[in-house]
Amino acid sequence: MRIRAAPKRAEKRKNGMSECLFCKIIAGQIKGEKVFEDELTFAFKDINPQAPVHFLVSPKRHINTIAEASGEEMEHIFKAAQKLAEQFGTSDSGFRMVINQGHNAGQAVPHLHVHVLGGRPLAWPPG
Ligand code: 5GP
Ligand code: ZN
């Protein structure tokens, strides 16, 4: 007979959840400056802001790539980002939404997140 807790832990390890920084922030195990939450998404300020406004919007579920996200999750993420950008006063001046996906994009945290940056002119093209 299997003990229930063990496979759960194994499953978490397999998914990379137990080691995931953003899963820990979303679960409240590590402090994060939350700016929004709904049933599918969690948004918090970036610890190392690259602009006066810089927050991250993540699915609550531990997924790493856009390919793994459901249409509903993407909808919630983009709606939350748009609403927060407005709330932080960047609707008129403009803002940028960025997903760093994979090695070439310099993704550092393997839990899908959309950066929302604003509050200053943002150069293009990116580095
Ligand atoms: P990536 O390069 O994966 O797209 O971006 C990861 C982002 O997460 C970076 O902008 C980085 O500053 C941010 N970050 C890394 N560790 C923490 C943390 O512990 N708390 C918060 N709030 N942001 C973090
Ligand atoms: Zn995670």
Please name each of the domains of the chain with its CATH number.
5-118 (3.30.428.10)
Question: Cis bond leading into 125, ω under 30°?
Answer: yes
Q: How high is the pLDDT of residue 17?
A: 75
Comparing CA positions, the residue from 9, 32, 4, 10 lying closest to residue 111 is: 32
Residues 6+ apart with CB under 8 A from 65: 101, 102, 112
What letter does residue 23 receive in the DSSP assignment? H
In the reported structure, the alpha carbon of residue 40 is separated from the centroid of ligand 2 by a whole-number distance in angstroms of 13
pLDDT in tens, 59-101: 999 999 999 999 999 999 999 999 999 999 999 999 999 999 9
pLDDT in tens, 12-70: 776 777 899 999 999 999 999 999 999 999 999 999 999 999 999 999 999 999 999 99
Comparing CA positions, the residue from 108, 39, 33 lying closest to residue 75 is: 39
- CA–CA distance, 105 with 126 (Å, rounded to integer): 10
Comparing CA positions, the residue from 21, 49, 47 lying closest to residue 34 is: 47
In the reported structure, the alpha carbon of residue 92 is separated from the centroid of ligand 2 by a whole-number distance in angstroms of 33
Q: Which parts of the chain fold into alpha helices (H)?
A: 5-15, 21-26, 71-87
Closest ligand 1 atom, CA of 32?
22
